[in-house]
Amino acid sequence: MLNKVPEVTVYFWVIKILCTTVGESFADYVNETLGFGLTNTTLVFSAALVAVLVAQFRLSRYVPGVYWLAVVLISVVGTLLTDNLTDARGVPLWISSTVFAVLLAGVFGIWYARERTLSIHTIVTTPRESFYWLTVLVTFALGTAVGDWTLDLTGWSAGTSILLPLGLILAVLAAWRLGAGPVLSFWLAYILTRPLGANIGDFLSSPRSDGGLGLGTLGTSVLFLATILAVVVYLTITDKDRTEAHHVLSTPEPATETRS
């Protein structure tokens, strides 16, 4: 198989943050506004995620539409995992955060012990892709738990709450620029984009009386889904985030033999 995940470019991070916002706002819209309830919402989105992941695993290369649809759905399911523990089971957020952190460390440990790498630039086998998607799911659940726990501890408003994950992401970027390991830096930033996107979603959807912009969960979801669709269509047409396309462009053509 060719690499099954996109090149890490600015487009990658833009869509990732958009997906995390959708995960927060769309889950709230279906669960609360439409009245599906937490259990039914979880079952519906989990079934949709399984169907899309089956399609993703059957592909032999990265396809933007399928890949990012899987990320959107996994962002919703990851959010719902934490919500189920907190709201339906009464599990404190510090326990959820600890459990998901330990689980993530375990997934990383098994992944590295088997494959000897945690790099996303070589997701070219089914086992590596399985570890990758399991890691993504756990990072969404962990980011949700840690983000909600932080808000409970600080009591910050929707707008102010954006600053902490944003500042931490900038710190990770600075550390990477100064020589920190790229794999560690990537996964730290990946986890932190979850609370960043969720807080952005809360800021946009919250009523103005609570310090938000008052777009509502539906308006926020539609706005961000439309933006994701536009960027994904652009990437599908241009191949700007396909790793094999970049490899071809950067590899010099062999010299041709001149015949006399």
Q: How many angstroms from the chain centroid is the CA of residue 132?
A: 11
pLDDT above 80: residue 185: yes
Please enumerate in sequence order all residues whose Cβ is within 8 A of that of 72, keeping only pairs 6 or more positions apart, or say none. Answer: 19, 22, 23, 225, 228
| 58-87 pLDDT per residue, tens | 999 999 999 999 999 999 899 889 889 998
User: Rounded to whole angstroms, how far apart are CA atoms 74 and 80?
Assistant: 10
- Are the C-beta atoms of 143 and 198 separated by less than 8 Å? yes
Percent of the chain with pLDDT over 90: 48
User: Rounded to whole angstroms, how far apart are CA atoms 46 and 132?
Assistant: 17
Transcribe 114-131 into DSSP letters.
Answer: HHS---GGG--SHHHHHH
| 93-147 pLDDT per residue, tens | 999 999 999 999 999 999 999 999 888 888 999 999 999 999 999 999 998 888 8
Burial label, 177 (beta-carbon count in 10 A; 0-12, 13-18, 19+): exposed
- Are the C-beta atoms of 147 and 198 separated by less than 8 Å? yes
- Are the C-beta atoms of 147 and 168 separated by less than 8 Å? no
Mean pLDDT score across all residues of the chain:
87
User: Rounded to whole angstroms, how far apart are CA atoms 28 and 161?
Assistant: 18
- Are the C-beta atoms of 167 and 178 separated by less than 8 Å? no
pTM for this entry: 0.87
- Are the C-beta atoms of 123 and 5 separated by less than 8 Å? yes
